[in-house]
């Protein structure tokens, strides 16, 4: 592929920095738009060490600032919109900030794509939270997990939307705006409804990035808070597989434009957040991990597993890295780089 000008909102974050690393290695010019929260400076320093500064441009700004967003996207051939407010808990305590970051921010990105960019591909990182609590979906409970009674392949993209939290509302609004900008304006937009993503350079905290956070907290010998009974199940996707999915979406944009895809680990890469993950983590750590239980959080799904067959059918994409292998890789990376986590 020819060298392109690419903008990544949230490019200094966990997913964004891994994506920028891949794109810079491919020879593209990358503009990172970020407010440099959540360890962004560390990730930018790493990108500069790996790639220098010739092809990497950094614009510090907020998504609610339409002028700043437009400046960052001007002339872009591709826009990966990854930035936003990321936690359900934060959206409950500060819904206005959540709206401005996610709903208004996504609108600003789309307007920039429509007016100042170079007929770009726009990839939007959405979330499984747009499906809400799915109270109408029958759930079964076993010793260590919840499971679906009627969805052996997971939840498909045709599942009715029921946002169920300010975060779900703001991300869902962006989700639908992205799709409609293809239908109304012909923009080459695509929605990736992402499940639990984990991997290198994930500076997880208690309310977001739970796989990494449990590892960080365990290595720091902190007591881990488990909300609910720990049997909640998620499908988990390693960062390298996610970046491969992004590449597949771009490479098949003639098919993918205007579409929505679940992008997650699928039914083959699932675990309950503590009843199953806890013993694995204790085995890696070599000692018991203290925990304390708290009440369930609003909108927390007992189980969420992505049906990823549409992405496989349209894009030829499937996860390659198993949960077992991905957990081992991330644990070793965090343990090897514990100095990066002193501030957490």
Q: With contact defined as beta carbons under 8 Å apart, do 207 and 87 qualify?
A: yes
Alpha-carbon span 202 to 209, nearest angstrom: 7
Q: Rg of the chain over CA atoms, in angstroms?
A: 19
131, 148, 167, 177: which is the annotated catalytic residue? 167
Evaluated on CA atoms 170, 197, 202, 70, the torsion sign reads: negative
What is the DSSP track for 167-196? HHHHHHHHHHHHHHHHHHH--EEEEEEE-E
User: Residue 125 has what DSSP assignment?
Assistant: E
Alpha-carbon span 290 to 326, nearest angstrom: 23
- Count the alpha carbons within 13 Å of 225 in the hemisphere toward its beta carbon: 9
Quick check: is 167 catalytic? yes
What percent of the chain is helix, strand and coil (3-state, nearest 5)?
40, 20, 40
Helices (H), the chain: 14-25, 40-51, 66-73, 88-93, 95-99, 105-115, 166-185, 210-219, 239-251, 253-256, 277-285, 309-315, 323-336
Angle between helix axes 14-25 and 40-51 (nearest 10 degrees) is 10
Burial class (CB in 10 A: 0-12, 13-18, 19+), 158: exposed
| C-alpha angle 264-231-157 in degrees, rounded to nearest 5 | 30
Alpha-carbon span 260 to 241, nearest angstrom: 18
Catalytic residues: 167
């Amino acid at each position: 592929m020819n060298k392109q000008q690419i903008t990544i909102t949230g490019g200094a974050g966990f997913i964004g920095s891994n994506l920028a690393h891949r794109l810079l290695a491919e020879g593209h010019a990358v503009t990172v738009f970020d407010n440099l929260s959540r360890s962004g400076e560390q990730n930018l320093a790493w990108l500069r060490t790996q790639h220098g500064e010739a092809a990497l441009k950094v614009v510090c700004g907020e998504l609610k600032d339409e002028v700043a967003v437009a400046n960052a996207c001007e002339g872009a051939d591709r826009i990966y919109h990854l930035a936003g407010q990321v936690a359900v808990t934060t959206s409950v305590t500060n819904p206005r900030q959540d709206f401005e970051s996610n709903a208004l921010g996504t609108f600003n990105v789309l307007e920039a794509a429509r007016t100042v960019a170079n007929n770009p591909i726009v990839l939007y990182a959405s979330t499984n939270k747009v499906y809400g609590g799915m109270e109408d979906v029958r759930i079964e409970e076993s010793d260590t997990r919840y499971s679906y009674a009627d969805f052996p392949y997971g939840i498909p993209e045709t599942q009715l939307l029921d946002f169920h939290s300010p975060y779900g509302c703001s991300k869902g609004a962006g989700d639908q705006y992205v799709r409609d900008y293809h239908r109304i304006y012909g923009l080459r937009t695509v929605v990736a409804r992402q499940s639990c993503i984990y991997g290198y350079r994930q500076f997880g905290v208690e309310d977001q990035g739970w796989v990494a956070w449990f590892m960080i907290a365990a290595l720091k010998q902190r007591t881990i808070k488990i909300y609910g009974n720990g049997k909640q199940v998620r499908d988990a996707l390693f960062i390298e597989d996610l970046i491969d999915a992004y590449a597949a979406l771009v490479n098949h944009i003639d098919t993918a434009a205007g579409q929505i895809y679940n992008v997650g680990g699928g039914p083959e890469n699932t675990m309950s957040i503590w009843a199953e993950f806890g013993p694995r983590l204790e085995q890696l750590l070599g000692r018991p991990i203290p925990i304390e239980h708290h009440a369930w959080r609003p909108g927390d799904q007992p189980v969420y597993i992505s049906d990823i067959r549409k992405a496989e059918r349209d894009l030829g994409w499937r996860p390659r890295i198993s949960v077992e292998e991905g957990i081992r890789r991330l644990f070793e990376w965090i343990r090897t780089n514990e100095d990066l986590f002193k501030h957490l």
